[in-house]
Homo-oligomer: A and B are copies of this chain.
Amino acid sequence: MIRAGIIGASGYTGGELMRLLARHPEAEVVAATSRKLAGTRVASEHRFLEGFSDLMFEDISNEEIKNMCDVIFLAVPHGTAMNYVPELLEDSKCRIIDLSADYRLDTKVFEEVYGLEHKDPRKVVFGLPELHSHEEIRNSRLVANPGCFPTGASLSAAPLAAKGLLKTVIFDSKSGVSGAGNSPSATSHFPNLTENIIPYKMTTHRHHAEMVQELSALQPGFTDVSFTPHVIPATRGILTTAHIFTTEKLSQEDVAAIYKEFYKDKKFVRVINGVPSLLSVRGSNFCHIGFEADKKSNRVVVMSAIDNLVKGASGQAVQNMNIMFGLDETTGLLEPGVF
């Protein structure tokens, strides 16, 4: 059994990691840290774990946790993970999957986008296994788990990027509010969100940089990406509507052929007919992708649906863990969505 630890386990991604690992046949959670909740039962906070876990939240040192665990998930805010990583890696064999933004970007880009000095610059594999080498992930001690928006957005445009067909891309994304965490705020205040949809950071969201990084890796030189996120009255899920202007006019059949070919061996991406639904992927690690080519112009509208807490965070982290430990990438993750 893989012994897993979670640093920052009281939040939504921490809880979701424990939900997913509760049913994983090859891994078990042996440590869940939280300063705030140290000494209380994990299942008192994450009520869906009632009867599944007797674990207590702990406040333990890096030294302790790295000796207890084969893999450590970092579910801490950006700017914080870089304080843990060097110590956790040193004199240990444990491997790390960082769910924060700290190691996702080229250091210079990170410092510019996040306005922080990076204390631990290093080159780390971007753990989006549909677009990056599994071998590289397997050989890494540290994997940077992608952001939720970049996962859905990159997967929606990658097949066209790989063909060099992108000219201009506008990602208009709609996210469930769990992406904002489990602390009550004005945005998550029910009367503000119900029957509403709330745009935010319309031109300045930091996840933009990950999208440019991923698409320009596939289509060198391509950077004409705009990104505008919205919060919708839903807990889970990101629907990305990608308005893609292409360098050539494409028919519906052209697009279908390109997407089906690109994703033909990817277990967690389903190219579907029609419009993807957040409800079909809820609770699951799947990404459903649909599209419609505009008959009158060089535009394709591509839509991707993921569960932001699963494929957009904790599920993808478990997928990376599986790859890192030589398991089939789907181990413990082959569950249909709960509509």
- Chain A interfacial positions (CB closer than 8 Å to B): 12, 15, 19, 22-23, 46-52, 170, 172, 174, 176-178, 182, 184-186, 188-200, 202-204, 226, 228, 230, 232-237, 239, 241, 243, 267, 270, 272, 275, 277-284, 286, 288, 292-297, 299, 301, 303, 334-339
The number of times this chain is found in the oligomer is: 4
- Which of B193, B299, B334 interacts with A23 by CB under 8 Å? B334
Q: Is the CB of B184 within 8 A of A278?
A: no
Q: A15-B339, A191-B279, A194-B194 are in contact. List 15 more A-B contacts (CB 8 A).
A: A19-B336, A22-B336, A23-B335, A23-B336, A47-B272, A47-B279, A47-B280, A48-B279, A48-B280, A48-B336, A174-B174, A190-B193, A197-B197, A199-B303, A203-B301
Q: Is the CB of A282 within 8 A of B338?
A: yes
Contact A190 B235 (CB under 8 A): yes
A334 CB contacts on chain B under 8 angstroms: 23, 52
**Contact B279 A172, beta carbon cutoff 8 Å:** no
Q: Are A177 and B191 in contact (CB under 8 A)?
A: yes
Q: Kindly list chain B residues whose C-beta atoms are within 8 Å of the C-beta of A46.
A: 339
- A292–B278 CA distance with the chains assembled, in angstroms: 28
Judging by beta carbons under 8 Å apart, are A338 and B234 in contact?
no
Leading 9 A-B pairs by shortest Cβ distance = A184-B184, A283-B338, A203-B294, A195-B234, A48-B337, A47-B280, A202-B301, A191-B235, A172-B172
Per the bound structure, the CA–CA distance linking A63 and B335 in Å amounts to: 33
Q: Which of A49, A197, A283 has the most CB of B within 10 A?
A: A197
Least CB distance, A161 to chain B, in whole angstroms: 19
